[in-house]
A = this chain, B = another copy of it.
C-alpha cells in the first residue's frame, strides 16, 4: 500500500479478530520501529512484545479492562529507555549523564516516533492498531509488571491485530485549527466557533451529548473523559515514577 494512502486511511481499531500475526508480518512491524530516526542514533527506547495469553490478561487489568486487549494477539509497550545505553557507557569508560528530565524527554521522543512507524507498518500489512493512553496513567504498574530497571519508563502501548470491522474515518478539525503559517494565530472566539462548527454539528456529537446527559461536547471531555481530578492524580503518579526511574536526579 502506498505511504500516503496508508496514512490517510488510518482508523483506530477497537475490535479485533483473535487470529495470530504471522512472524514475518510482526518482524516487519518491529523492523519499521527500529529504522526510525533516533536522537544521535542512540536508540534510547525499547519495545516489549506481549503475546502470552496469561500476561495479556494481566495487561488487560492494568489498562482499565479495555476488552480489545483480550481479543488482539499482540501488545507492544514502548519505553523511553536509557538503561542499555547507560550500561554500554559504563562498560566503555564513559560516565553517562542521562539521569535528568531532558534525557527522559529525548528518550520519549525516540519511543513515540518509533511507535508511529510500527503503526504504519502494521496498517500497511492489513493490521489495525490502537494507542493506549492508559500507559502513562499506569506507568508504575507497568514498571512492576515488566520489572523495568532504572532508566526505563513506559510511554505508550499499541494493541495490534486483524480488525473485526473497519469503522468509518473519524472527523478532524479543519487544517487551520492545527497549522499556523509563520506566526502563531492565537484564535479569536469567532475562530474557535468556526473551527468546531462541523464537529459540533455531527449526528454522532449530538448523540454523545444526549448519552452523557450534558450540554456541550466540551463538557464530555472536562467532566467525563479527562476530568481535572484524574489528570492531577495521574500527573503526580507519572512524575513520581519518572523520578523513581532515575530521570530527575539533577
Contact = CB atoms under 8 A, between A and B. Distances in A.
Contacts of A34: 172, 175, 178-179
Nearest to A177: B84
A47 interface: yes
Given A231-B97, A232-B250, A88 B178 contact: no
Given A113-B112, A178-B34, A226 B97 contact: yes
Contacts of A35: 7-8, 10, 172
Interface in A176-204: 177-184, 186-187, 189, 192-193, 195-196
Interface residues of A, number: 116
Nearest to A3: B124
A4 to B, nearest CB: 6
B32 A8 contact: yes
A18 interface: no
Given A43-B177, A186-B83, A102 B218 contact: no
B2 A2 contact: yes
A218 B46 contact: no
Interface string A34-78: 111101111101111111100100000000000000000000000
* A contacts with B: majority SS: helix
Contacts of A40: 133, 221, 225-226
Interface of A: 1-4, 6-8, 10, 12, 28, 30-37, 39-43, 45-52, 55, 83-85, 87-89, 91-98, 100-103, 105-106, 108-109, 112-113, 115-117, 119-121, 123-125, 131, 133, 136-137, 146-149, 152, 155-156, 170-173, 175, 177-184, 186-187, 189, 192-193, 195-196, 215-219, 221-223, 225-229, 231-232, 234-235, 238-239, 250
16 contacts: A1-B2, A4-B121, A4-B125, A34-B178, A46-B178, A46-B184, A88-B196, A92-B218, A92-B219, A97-B226, A101-B235, A102-B235, A103-B231, A106-B133, A109-B131, A152-B184
